[in-house]
Structure 1
Amino acid sequence: MIKILAVSDSHGNKDILNELALRYANRVDHFVHCGDSELSSSDLIWGIMSTVMGNCDYDYQMNDEYRFQAGDKNVLVVHGHRHSVRGSVAGLKVAAKQANASLVFYGHTHIAKAEQEEGILFINPGSISQPRGTLTEKTYCIVTIDVHSVTVTYYNDRHQEMVDLNKQFQML
């Protein structure tokens, strides 16, 4: 079993990132930030979390995407602003296929969402500082990868589980 904590759109709120890193140290296998941290690429948090550059990040030392292996799954992390994610995940689907990724983490919309299309799982942890849409809670998620399933569990900034948002997906 592999666990990935995903957070996005913290917009300068370094305290919550430090809190997540301390709270989940030795409890998750990967920490990913989907961009718009507004922190320097030399910030110490990036020694713990992997991040990508968002449209509100101006440190050009950050990469537009990050790839890694989680068990037998190829994972792609992007912010999403270059993939037109406000309308659909179609642009992300193209990027996922190019990267041979079955899991894609993205941000930008500030809306917590997990969906599967053509065998690819697209996960947006929402925003940990400025939620948008009908949900007014600040969110992050923990993704648990088992042999044939992926569970996405959402939490608010007070670390309370957001049961109505949670989803489980079958993966081949």
Structure 2
Amino acid sequence: MWGWYDKQGNTVPKNKITGVASDITTVVAIPMSAPFALSDVLSSDTFELLMKMGGEIKMKKFLMISLLFLHGCYWHNGCLYTAQMVNCYMDKVPFSSIAYYQKIDSIGHTDINQRWRDAELCGAKYGDSNLWSVIKPQNFRNEFRICMESKGYHIFDSSECGVKEPKSLNKGICNE
């Protein structure tokens, strides 16, 4: 639908425009489908009883809470989790590439000055925190990784480290 899926039916990476369009579609689809979902769960007698007990305002609150449960939506750490996607509404500051290299005996507390000295000895330029100097112009990323591992570093993935900011999403494994 609208270029959001590949030939196998999997979602494709979204750009800013398709991301916003996807969010709008979700926001519109949930309230529109709620009556149909509720009709499977609650009988007309139950709806009538709720209307008699609390009137229109309580019924609206009940319907909104029911929507969240029926659609499996919940909010956690600044992210809205729905059945098919996660939308996070906070600014995140990722770690730089050099931060993923951690000394095995001091994970999360690696001496950043020593790490830079070791990175320079392995071919990186001092201060190149995204490590472009080991990717361009001569692609020797693997040699750099092997060299850093020989100096006692473990290379973590970004999913293992989390993000630098906000602190609630920082897993304490990487440091800068």
Q: TM range, normalised to the smaller chain? A: under 0.3
Structure exhibiting the larger radius of gyration computed from Cα positions: 2
Structure 1 length normalisation: TM-score? 0.20
Structure whose residues are more often helix by fraction: 2
